[in-house]
Amino acid sequence: MAARFAPPRYASPPPRHPGGEEAARLVVAGGGLVGLTVALDLARRGVDVVLLDEDDTVSTGSRAICFAKRTLEIYGRLGLGARFLEKGVTWNRGRVFHGEREAYAFDLLPEQGHEYPAFVNLQQYYAEAWLVEACAATGRVDLRWRHKVTGIENRPDGARLAVETPQGAYTLHAEWLLACDGARSFLRESLGLPFVGQVFRDRFLIADVVMQADFPTERWFWFDPPFHPGQSVLLHKQPDDVSRIDFQLGWEADPEAEKDPARVRARVAAMLGPKIPFELEWVSVYTFRCRRMERFRHGRTLFLGDAAHQVSPFGARGGNGGVQDADNLAWRLAAVLTGEAGEALLEGYEAERIPAADENILNSTRSTDFITPKNPAARAWREAVLQLARRHAFARPLVNSGRLSRPWSGQVAAPDAPVLREGQAEWLLRHIGHDGRFTLIAREATPPALPGVTALMLADTPRPGTLHDHSGLAAARLGLAPGEAALFRPDQILAGRAPAADRAALAALHAKALAR
């Protein structure tokens, strides 16, 4: 049996000035997946971060398990990509069952020539533990475990936080505050900021089950299976022989009674059959919600992740969406703090991440509506779709067991592609944003030198000092004709394209991306 994860216990530092006051340039409140990601990104950009978390360990239970390609690319930029690939379970096939039978199978068809696959399954606690290590290694993140925020006063010059620790309380004045304290955000609630949306009248039992069964590494979703009639079930494989099983229970279910291990064991046994021994690692019962804050920025306090928006897990859009918030905000904030850009640059965070959150909410709401039909008509329609899907390809796109996380459709993230550098195999994306800067790529042309911008030449034939596009995939995916250039922001998002010779146009794109 594979080694199991042992949750780390992090030391809780004593307050610097017990009972007194302290000031910090930037405070991240909440060291979950999103808080740790934004702290690491900022630290790598040279910003000192104080990170407060009320707990002294990582996430309990697997929670976010599906890490999408874009998230993996972000972790690639942050130096953790290889760990996700090594430890995570890569998958791209899904099967949908209806009743006793398979309705159909799908392939997320990852085209060749990308460093990262469509999805990797990994328990959230691994991701968080690696992020903590990486934050510590920068020497710029002051990790304060069991420092709980118990009060906030939001002011034009920052936030005054009341912090409690086992060794006394203190006041922390944060010039900038990143609120990453999760779906039940204390900061959001103390500031009286509304969090509006809908609750789905259904309950789900989520179990992490340790077993050695020969299930393929695929996503299996059942509508109305014989072992759990009238409801749906989802099975997903994670590392360490852990499988995640979600049982839909219905609104009438009693959440406490459902958590009874004997009851859970009976459900799992009915599913797996008598021959597969298993152990329960973690069990929880959820009611899902989709909601968001009206604004993510309130002066010098900015909300990220579940604190700002919450989705139902079908589609794996919660953690992935939150990591993309961090990716979007970190470079902006670093540019503002170093004086490279003005505060106007922060407006882009809301302009991009609010519609992105809406897109995630829309998709996960539609999935949840399909999985939990609200009335007899919805149930009849779903049955009709599932029946037709068995034999008719046209009905399959209508089956919605989760629309898996994709980057926001309102912008273009830099594509990956295989390239050669001095004859060595490399990935295109590793040359975009990995140095923390803007990147200008010109095809078959020398890009102009712009201050603060890394310039690269993409060559159709091998040439020293260039990236050789030996397969032609890089130019095709970048959409670059010879003589054209593309400018990418530090978060690998396309700022625009222009002729490589048009220095003024490229400089204008750069200035615009920096809200100058």
Partner 1 sequence: MSTLSTEPRLPDPDGFYALVMEAHRGLDEAASRALDARLVLILANHIGDAEVLAEAIALARRAGEEEA
Hey, what amino acid is at 448?
P
In whole angstroms, the minimum distance from the beta carbon of 52 to ligand FAD comes to 5
Q: According to CB under 6 A, which residues from 60 to 89 bind ligand FAD?
A: 63-66
- Using CB distances below 5 to 8 A depending on partner kind, what does residue 319 bind out of partner 1, ligand FAD, none? ligand FAD
Residue 176, beta-bridge partner list: 26
For partner 1, which is the closer residue by CB, 180 or 385? 385
| Near ligand FAD by CB under 6 A: residue from 12, 22, 48, 55 | 55
Out of ligand FAD, partner 1, none, what residue 377 binds, judged by CB under 5 to 8 A for its kind, is partner 1
Distances (CA, A) of 437 to 26, 450, 454: 21, 11, 7
CA atoms of 158 and 360, how far apart (whole Å): 30
Contact present, 152 and 271 (Cβ < 8 Å): no
Residue closer to ligand FAD (CB basis): 181 or 491: 181
Interface residue with ligand FAD, options 319, 402, 407, 415 (CB under 6 A): 319
Work out how close the CB of 7 gets to partner 1 at its nearest, in angstroms, rounded to a whole number: 48
Toward ligand FAD, which CB reaches closer, 55 or 426?
55
Minimum gap (Å) between residue 19 Cβ and ligand FAD: 19
**Whole-number CA gyration radius for the chain:** 24
By CB under 6 A, name the one of 45, 50, 54, 371 that touches ligand FAD. 54
> Total residues contacting ligand FAD (rule CB under 6 A)?
34
Cβ atoms 120, 85 nearer than 8 A? yes
Contact call for residues 185 and 284 (beta carbons, < 8 A): no
Look at residues 68, 91, 47, 98 and name the one whose alpha carbon lies nearest to residue 217: 91
What span, in angstroms and rounded, lies between the C-alpha atoms of 301 and 297?
6
* Residue ranges that bind partner 1, judged by CB under 8 A: 376-377, 380-381, 383-385, 387-388, 394-395, 398
Shortest approach of partner 1 to residue 474 CB, angstroms? Answer: 35
Interface with ligand FAD (CB under 6 A), residue from 41, 42, 84, 124: 124
Measured CA to CA, the distance from residue 303 to residue 12 in angstroms comes to: 25
Residue nearest to ligand FAD (CB): 32
Taking each helix axis from N to C end, the angle separating 318-337 and 33-44, rounded to the nearest 10 degrees, works out to: 30
Contact 279, 211 (CB under 8 A): yes
How far is it, in rounded angstroms, from Cα 295 to Cα 302? 9
Q: Of 191 and 395, which CB lies nearer to partner 1 in the complex structure? A: 395
Q: How far is the CB of 90 from ligand FAD (least distance, A)?
A: 15
Q: What secondary structure, in 3-state letters, does 298-323 show?
A: ECCEEECHHHCEECCCCCCCHHHHHH
Q: For ligand FAD, what does the binding mask look like between residues 84 and 123, x meaning CB under 6 A? A: ----------------------------------------
Closest contact distance (angstroms) between CB of 308 and ligand FAD is 8
- Shortest Cβ 383–partner 1 spacing (Å): 6
Exactly one of 10, 27, 31, 408 binds ligand FAD (CB under 6 A); which one? 31
Q: Which does 473 bind (CB under 5 to 8 A by kind): ligand FAD, partner 1, none?
A: none
Residue 101 has which token pair?
A: 């039978």
CB of 209 to ligand FAD, least distance (A): 14
Stretch that binds ligand FAD, among 215-223, 289-297, 302-310, 355-363 (CB under 6 A): 302-310
**Is residue 29 close enough to count as binding ligand FAD by CB under 6 A?**
yes
Q: Cβ contacts of residue 323 below 8 Å, gap of 6+?
A: 33, 34, 37, 71, 74, 75
In 295-315, which positions are buried (b, 16+ CB within 10 angstroms) versus exposed (e)? ebbbebbbbbbbbbbbbbbbb
DSSP string covering 154-166, please?
Answer: EETTEEEEEEEET
Binding span for ligand FAD by CB under 6 A among 6-14, 178-186, 442-450, 501-509: 178-186
Residue placing its CB nearer to partner 1 in the complex, 11 or 380: 380
Q: Which residues pair with 286 in a beta bridge?
A: 204
Q: Which is nearer to partner 1, 287 or 387 (CB)?
A: 387
Q: What residues does 94 pair with on adjacent strands? A: 106, 219
Which residue lies nearer to partner 1 by CB, 105 or 384? 384
Which residues make up the interface to ligand FAD (CB under 6 A)?
A: 29-35, 52-55, 59, 63-66, 124, 148-149, 180-182, 186, 206, 286, 305-307, 313, 316, 318-320, 322
